[in-house]
Structure 1
Amino acid sequence: MFSKQKPPAIRSLIADGNHIEGHVHFRDGLRVDGTIVGNVRAREEDSSILVISETASILGEVHADHVIVNGTIKGPVYARQMLELQPKARIEGDVFYTALEMHQGAIIAGLLRPTPSMLEDKPALKLAATGN
């Protein structure tokens, strides 16, 4: 189900201190350190990665293959392949995922909803180890 292909390169950055109002569409990889008020969506045709750092906040929907969160999202999250929630992740909205890794300290105020492909293939839910 999950190939070990190399993840796409992060080619774009929304730096800390930047504030964008409007929808953001990207391909390959995007790192967000600033604020976005609008939906963030990766092209479905290409493999994608979205990194939301601890200084970042997004008010809107998030769509990408691989989503790594250590900041704040207020809106639904659609991770087509993998969702990684780091210790400072805060999500207010429903989460749709195929595979999920959640570290201690991460918070979701919404429903966890597996995608239909997850229900068919049944990948394991991975809980991140603490410490060390």
Structure 2
Amino acid sequence: MFGKKQQAPIRTLIGEGTVIRGELHFSDGLRIDGQVIGDVVASGGGRNILVISEKAKVEGTVHAGHVIVNGTVMGPVISTELLELQPKAVISGDVKYERLEMHQGAEIDGELRPLRGDAVADEKPPLKLATSNQG
């Protein structure tokens, strides 16, 4: 209603004290309260949400649409819709985002880049030669 996208439901929880090793693919929503050693990737296209809670730790690439971080990520983060960095977020890696919301206290040790900038940087402007009207 009123043009707002409905948020995907969180269907999967990785509980506190749980450690997962390996690449993790999910659709819809995922909340991590434990530790993941490996990449966390949203699959299936469409809308999805990933929540990395205050006690969570991810060691690997994070790639999802809507990403909320309040824990620790050691690796690059790619958010194709909205990246929310809560006050206790700590990211050691490069961050690419479509839209960014960053709260005071969040830390990033890496490069911040909007995804829009990647498309522009990849396209080379056409070469135009100046002509002289002097004769």
| TM norm structure 1 | 0.85
Q: Distance in 2 between matches of 1:72 and 1:101?
A: 17
Is the aligned partner of 1:10 residue 2:10? yes
Give the equivalent residue in structure 1 for 2:89.
89
Q: Tell me the residue number matched to 1:40.
A: 40
Deviations 1:72-127 (A, max 9, x none): 0000000000000000000000000010000000000000011027987xxxxxxx
Identity %: 54
Q: Does the residue aligned with 1:47 lie in a helix, a strand or coil?
A: coil
Report the 3-state secondary structure (helix = DSSP H, G, I; strand = E; otherwise coil) of the residue aligned with 2:101: strand
5 Å matches for 1:19-98?
Answer: 19-98=19-98
> By how many angstroms is 1:46 displaced?
2.1
Helix, strand or coil at the partner of 2:25: strand
With normalisation by structure 2, the TM-score equals 0.83
Unaligned runs of 5+ in 2: 121-135
Which residue is 1:127 aligned to?
none
Question: Larger C-alpha radius of gyration, 1 or 2?
Answer: 2
Gaps spanning 5+ residues in structure 1: where?
121-132
Q: Distance in 1 between matches of 2:9 and 2:93?
A: 27
